[in-house]
Structure 1
Amino acid sequence: MDAKTSEESNYLIRAKQSDNENGDLMSKLKGKGSLSSKEVFYRADKIDLKSLDLQLEKELNKVWSKRLDTNRPKEEWEIDFSKLELKHLVAHGTYGSVYRGTYDNQDVAVKLLDWGEDGMATAADSASLRAAFQQEVVVWQKLHHPNVTKFVGASMGTSNLKLPEKNSSQKAPRSLSSRVCCVVVEYIPGGTLKQFLIRNRRKKLAFKVVIQLALDLARGLSYLHSKKIVHRDVKTENMLLDYEKTVKIADFGVARVEAQNPSDMTGATGTYGYMAPEVLDGQPYDHKCDVYSYGICIWEIYCCAMPYAELSFSEVSSAIVARNLRPQIPRCCPNSLANIMKRCWDAIPEQRPEMDEVVRMLEAVDTSKGGGMIPEGETPGCLCFGRARGP
C-alpha cells in the first residue's frame, strides 16, 4: 500500500451492517458506495454531521411537544398559537427574547424564556424553573388592575411558534426549542418609566407629575401585595407608561408568591441600587423588599437621576449594607415626600410602611403650590445638584 492510499484510508469508516438495518441512515449520509453491498465505505470528512444534529434536534422537539400535548390537559391560560403572530424583536437577554406582535388582533408583547439556553442550567434546574413559571402564570392570569400590565396568556412549549424571518440587528435565536416558555401580555406603547425620566433629566418634572407617577406605582404594588405577590425587581426600568402617562408594573420574570415563612425566600434577586439590605446580605426577606425598592424609585422620579451614579455595583452593595448608604435627597424636596422616601428605605424591614399606607400618604400630599424641582412660576431646572446625574 503506497503512502497516498494509506493516507486516504485514515478518512474511511467501515460499516458492516445489513441493508435492512442501516438502509435509511445510509441514504442520509453523503458519500460514495453501493447501498446493496454488505460492506460500504464512506469518507468521514464528507459526512454532514451538523445536518444530522439538526435532524436529531427536530425529532427530539417533536417527541417533547407530543409529550406536552398528550400527558396533561390544556390549561385555561394557554394561548392558541394560530392566533399569535410575532412582528419584530424588541430585546434579547440571557434567558429570553421579547417580541412585539399580535394575538387575536390585539397588540401584544411576547416574552420567550429559555432557562437552558446558556448551557449552564441542569435538567433539574430547568424543570424547577419551569414548575415555578407555571405556578406564577396561574397567579398572574387572575390579576386585574389599571397599574399592572394585563396578562393575555402563556405556553409551556413553543414548537408551533414561528419566528419573524427578518429580525433586528440584536442577536436572537433563529429557531426555538420546545422547552422554551412563552408569556403574552398587553403592549404598552409609551416605553419605560426610566426612559421617560432620562428624557427629563435636565428640565425635571412638575411636582404634580411626580406625585401622580409615584401614586400609580404605589397602587400597583399595593394591589400585588394584597394578592401575596412579591415582585422582587421593582425599578423604573420595569415600569411602563401608556399614552396617558399611566404607570403599569411589568416584567414578572422573578416575581413569586410570597412564602408564609420568610426564611423560604432568600437569595440576591433584583437589581443593584434597588435591592434591600436584607436581600443584598442574603438574609430572609418578604414583600417589604419591594417597599425599599419603591423608595429608591420615587427618589429617581423626583430627581430624574440615577441613584449612586458615581459608584460601582460592588461599592453600592457593600455601602448599603455596612454604612446604610442611601441616595441624597435634594434640599428642595418637600418634607411630605422626603419622609416617605426615608420610611420606605429604612434598614429595618418592619419599620417600612405597607404600600397601602404609602398610597394614603401620597394622596394627602398638597401639590397645589408646586414644591418640586420646578418651583411654581419659575423656569424648569434645579440647582440642588452641582451637576446633572444619570446617563
Structure 2
Amino acid sequence: SSKEYMSYRAVHRGQAKYVIKRVAEEWEYQNRITFLKGVIDLAMETKFLNSVNHPNIIEPRGFAEGGAFQPGYFIVLDRLHETLPKKIKTWTTTDRQCKGITGVFVGGKAKVAKLITDRLRVAFDVASALHYMHSMNIVYRDLKPDNIGFDVRNSVKIFDFGLAKEMREEERNADGLFKMTGFTGSIRYMAPEVGLRRPYNHTADIYSFSMLLWYILALEPPYGFYTPEMFLQRVFQLGHRPVVMQEWPENIQTVMKRSWDVRLHVRPSFNIIMKVLKKEASKINPTDAREFLAYTGPMGPPATIGGNSGHGNTNSGPPRPSQQQQKQPPRRSSGNRTPAEMAPPPMVPIRS
C-alpha cells in the first residue's frame, strides 16, 4: 500500500546518515488512486514536519524543490536505527533472562528495575511529543509501534505524519468535537469513536497511547489475534479492554484505564500522563530515573492533578505552549485558542 511504502519505516540498513522518503513514480501508472493518496500523505507530512520542533519528533533535513505535488518530490530525514517492535523484542529477551535461576547470576533485580525505567522513559518521550503536538492543535491519528523509532543515540523519534491533522477552531462542533475522517490509523490502536466514524478530537491520541503503554509494559500487542470484526464488535461497540496486570504501579493502572475510557472527557491530558510516568520511574529506580526527571524539553505548563476542574484548568483540552516555546521563533501560527475551549475532564486523584 502507499502507506507501507511511504512510511519507509524511516529506517535504513547500512551506514547512511539520512534516508529519502518519496512516492514510487511507477504507481502513477499501476494504481493511480494509491499514487494520489501517497502524494497527499507526503504533502501533509511536509506541512507538519516543517511546522513542529521537538526532540522526540523526527527532524527533516531537506525537501525537494518545486513543492510536494511536483513529480519526483521527496523528503530527506534522519536515519533511525530501529523501531519500537524491535526494541520490545530486546526488552522481552532481557526480561526472560532476569527471571528464575538465571536472574540470580545476571543481577536480575537491578536489571529488572532498569528495564522498567527504560520502558517508562520511552513512554514518557512519546507522551511528551504528543503533548507538544496537541499544544499546536495537531492530532496525530496514527500512533502505533511501527511509527516510533530510535536514532543512533537511542533517542525516541515519532515519524510518519501523513495522517496528522490540524484542528481548526472554525471546524469545531458545539460539543467540542470535530468531524474528521473516521477509521483512520491502525485498528489495534484506534480509538472507538474513530473506528465508529463519529466526531472526535485530540483525545483519540490519548486512547491510542493507552494501548501503546499497555504494549510497552506487557511486552506483547494488545488484543492478541483479534480480527477486524472482533475489534468492531468487542472493542468499539462493547468496550472490551486489555487486562491490566496487578503488579503494575497503581498510578499507571489508573491513568491507563482513564486514557482508554469510552468517555472522551474522562481521558487525562498528556501533561498528567507525563507526571505519572516520571513519578513512578523515580520510585522504581531513582538512580536511573535522575536523567529522566531532569528532562526540560517543550512539555507545556506544569501538570496539576486534582484541584480545579473548571475555570482555566491547564489540563483540559490541548495545552497551550509554554513560555519557553513561545520565546522560540515559531515556524507557523498555532491558531487562536483559549484554555476554556475544551470542557475539562473530571480529575481522578493519583496516589503519591
TM above 0.5, yes or no, is yes
Q: Name the CA distance, whole Å, in 1 between partners of 2:11 and 2:226.
A: 35
Q: Of residues 11, 20, 41 in structure 2, which corresponds to 1:110? A: 20
1:280: Cα distance to partner?
0.4
- AA at the equivalent of 1:187: R
Alignment of 1:74-113 (within 5 A): 96=6, 98=8, 107-113=17-23
Alignment of 1:41-52 (within 5 A): none
Cα contact 1:292–1:344 (8 A) shared by 2: yes
After superposition, what is the alpha-carbon deviation per residue over 1:314-366, rounded to whole angstroms, capped at 9, x for unaligned? Answer: 21232111211111111211111111211111111121111122112222225
1:153: Cα distance to partner?
2.4
Q: Name the CA distance, whole Å, in 2 between partners of 1:252 and 1:97.
A: 9
Q: Which secondary structure does the structure 2 equivalent of 1:252 belong to?
A: coil
Q: Name the CA distance, whole Å, in 1 between partners of 2:211 and 2:239.
A: 13
Q: Name the CA distance, whole Å, in 2 between partners of 1:323 and 1:135.
A: 34
Change in 2 beyond 3 A, CA 1:282/1:118 = farther
Q: Of residues 79, 91, 100 in structure 2, which corresponds to 1:200? A: 91
Q: Name the CA distance, whole Å, in 2 between partners of 1:279 and 1:357.
A: 23
Q: Of residues 153, 160, 182 in structure 1, which corresponds to 2:74? A: 182
After superposition, what is the alpha-carbon deviation per residue over 1:231-286, rounded to whole angstroms, capped at 9, x for unaligned? Answer: 11101111011344321111112112224324331221100110000000011111
Hey, what does 1:152 align to over in structure 2?
61
Q: Of residues 220, 242, 256 in structure 1, which corresponds to 2:165? A: 256
Q: Which sections of structure 2, spanning at least 5 residues, go unmatched?
A: 96-111, 286-352
- AA at the equivalent of 2:246: R
Q: Of residues 126, 142, 152 in structure 2, which corresponds to 1:233? A: 142
Hey, what does 1:67 align to over in structure 2?
none
Change in 2 beyond 3 A, CA 1:183/1:256 = farther
- AA at the equivalent of 2:159: A
1:295: Cα distance to partner?
0.5
Hey, what does 1:138 align to over in structure 2?
47
Cα contact 2:150–2:156 (8 A) shared by 1: yes
Give yes or no for the alignment of 1:301 onto 2:192.
no
Q: Which secondary structure does the structure 1 equivalent of 2:280 belong to?
A: coil
Cα contact 2:258–2:267 (8 A) shared by 1: yes
Hey, what does 2:267 align to over in structure 1?
352
Percent same amino acid among aligned pairs? 26
Alignment of 1:1-391 (within 5 A): 96=6, 98=8, 107-113=17-23, 116=28, 119-121=31-33, 126=36, 130=39, 133-134=42-43, 136-155=45-64, 179-189=71-81, 191-204=82-95, 206-260=115-169, 261=172, 262-369=177-284
Cα contact 2:249–2:280 (8 A) shared by 1: no
Change in 2 beyond 3 A, CA 1:201/1:94 = closer
Q: Which sections of structure 1, spanning at least 5 residues, go unmatched?
A: 1-90, 159-176, 371-391
Runs of 4+ in structure 1 over 4 Å off: 91-95, 114-118, 128-133
Q: For the aligned residues, what is the CA RMSD?
A: 3.2
Q: Name the CA distance, whole Å, in 2 between partners of 1:92 and 1:131.
A: 10
Q: Which secondary structure does the structure 1 equivalent of 2:189 belong to?
A: coil
Q: Name the CA distance, whole Å, in 2 between partners of 1:311 and 1:288.
A: 23
Between 1 and 2, higher relative CO (CA 8 Å, sep ≥ 6) is seen in: 2
Change in 2 beyond 3 A, CA 1:259/1:335 = same
Hey, what does 2:297 align to over in structure 1?
none
Change in 2 beyond 3 A, CA 1:142/1:302 = same
Cα contact 1:94–1:118 (8 A) shared by 2: no
Q: Which secondary structure does the structure 2 equivalent of 1:200 belong to?
A: helix
Cα contact 1:222–1:356 (8 A) shared by 2: yes
Change in 2 beyond 3 A, CA 1:106/1:313 = same
Change in 2 beyond 3 A, CA 1:351/1:142 = same
Q: Name the CA distance, whole Å, in 2 between partners of 1:153 and 1:244.
A: 21
Cα contact 1:198–1:305 (8 A) shared by 2: no
Change in 2 beyond 3 A, CA 1:195/1:92 = farther
1:150: Cα distance to partner?
0.8
Larger Rg: 1 or 2?
A: 1
